[in-house]
Amino acid sequence: MIERLDAVELEEIRDDFPILQQRVHGKPLIYFDNAATSQKPRQVIETLNDYYRRYNANVHRGIHALAERATREYELARHTIAKFINAPAPETVVFTRGTTEAINLVAYSWARANLKQGDEILITWMEHHSNIVPWYQVAAATGAVIKRIDLNADGTLAIPAINPRTKLVAVTQCSNVLGTINPVKELAAAAHKVGALILVDGAQSVPHLAVDVQALDADFFVFSGHKMLGPTASGVLYGKRALLEGMPPFMGGGEMIREVSATGFTTNDLPYKFEAGTPNIAESIGLGIAVDYLQKVGLDKIRQHEKEITAYALERLQEMIEIKIYGPLDAEKRGGLVAFTFSDIHPHDLATFFDQEGIAIRAGHHCAMPLHKHLGIGATARASFYLYNTRAEVDALVATLQKAKKFFGACPTGRALGF
């Protein structure tokens, strides 16, 4: 039986998000910018408040009551998150400030130590700049070469046989523009066949789909807390233990050492070797509470809800001849976001028009400039959904597009196409 959120649950969820109760420009807020950052439930907001009011202290240092409580809650969050992604042990979960920092950690530590001239790093056309620029930097430092997996006409990956020169496949599990959900398990198997590793960017998947890093056989898996109901500056690098153990530290300082002498240092155990300095304590604790919240609702229910909202949005948007939607038109193959262009109206003008109606969407290149260039466009408008969005809000999106058409005097540019 398919589990879905019923109307009562949806209303209860919405009540947990104080920000959704407000009006923007005199209109009820409709928040469709979840791929940029999600809103936070009161449980997470209260956790941050509680930390700073009642047990603010540094972790793994003091022996007083506040320090012990802070350390306990911080490590509890690590346990919760490890279980959530089915990591084999909490030590394989490193807290970072987000996806970007986690990818840079791997690029600076693993890649610089392991790649050499002529080695290949395989990415895709749909990567976010966070999963492109660190590899350009690695290529410049080591002489490695960047290769890209091409796209099919429907915005899915045209998966090639992987070249034996490939040492790393770095791929997003869900595109923040096309919405495409990529077959990372198959890519991991193909990478391993030629002795390459795979790094999976889970920034747009972990908030929305049940993820099992062991079932995927990911070598590295990264994601951001702020896109999954958690605080900003929270995030995770998961890595296979043997890999993390073999890697040099990314940053030097307190916590990451076991001993420091007049001439050198030895490194701490996992995961602390990669958590130099005072970490993002409140944020990581808050992320643990966000994960509790997602698990209480149920990832399968959340995915089903978003699939239904996305399918409805795709159907309603395609009623308009002026629209062009990017990525697969089948909600089963995509996450809960839709990027589009609408006639000849610039996406920034559209986003401004939407804002006046109280609807938050994003416009621009969404930190995926190579993808937009590859598609021959400068920018797209994007509506991205989460567990608290409703069909009525999608109706408002469509009604506002119709209003924008009248306002801007848009002329049809062709039928909605997959690409």
Catalytic residues: 367
Q: Are 283 and 41 in contact (CB under 8 A)?
A: no
Query: Could you give the string, one character per residue 211-250, with x where binding to ligand C6P holds by CB under 6 A and - elsewhere?
Result: -------------x--------------------------
Look up residue 330 and give its two tokens. 């089948």
Q: Which span (12-20, 126-134, 187-195, 313-321) binds ligand C6P, by CB under 6 A? A: 126-134
Shortest Cβ distance from residue 202 to ligand C6P (Å)? 8
Q: Which span (75-83, 196-204, 246-254, 286-294) binds ligand C6P, by CB under 6 A? A: 196-204
Look up residue 286 and give its two tokens. 């808050």
Shortest Cβ distance from residue 336 to ligand C6P (Å)? 13
342 to 171, 354, 409: CA distances (angstroms): 29, 13, 11
**Angle at CA of residue 264, ends 259 and 269, nearest 5°:** 40
Q: What are phi and psi of 34, to 5 degrees?
A: -70, -25
Residue 248: which residues within 8 A CB-CB, separation 6 or more? 109, 113
Among 41, 98, 134, 230, binds ligand C6P (CB under 6 A): 98
d(CA 137, CA 134): 5
Among 71, 100, 268, 284, binds ligand C6P (CB under 6 A): 100
Q: Which span (54-62, 95-103, 144-152, 181-189) binds ligand C6P, by CB under 6 A? A: 95-103
DSSP H helices in 210-331:
213-216, 241-246, 281-297, 299-317
Look up residue 119 and give its two tokens. 């080695």
Asked if 104 is part of the footprint of ligand C6P (rule: CB under 6 A), the reply reads no
Asked if 128 is part of the footprint of ligand C6P (rule: CB under 6 A), the reply reads yes
Shortest Cβ distance from residue 394 to ligand C6P (Å)? 19
d(CA 352, CA 2): 38
Asked if 176 is part of the footprint of ligand C6P (rule: CB under 6 A), the reply reads yes
CB of 231 or CB of 358, closer to ligand C6P: 231
Query: Could you give the string, one character per residue 19-58, with x where binding to ligand C6P holds by CB under 6 A and - elsewhere?
Result: ----------------xx----------------------
Look up residue 83 and give its two tokens. 């279980």
Query: Could you give the string, one character per residue 364-403, with x where binding to ligand C6P holds by CB under 6 A and - elsewhere?
Result: --xx------------------------------------
CA neighbor of 384 nearest in space, from 234, 153, 207, 232: 207
SS (H, E, C) 59-91: CCCCCCHHHHHHHHHHHHHHHHHHHHCCCCCHH
Asked if 405 is part of the footprint of ligand C6P (rule: CB under 6 A), the reply reads no
Binding residues vs ligand C6P (CB under 6 A): 35-36, 98-100, 128, 130-131, 172, 176, 201, 203-204, 224, 362, 366-367
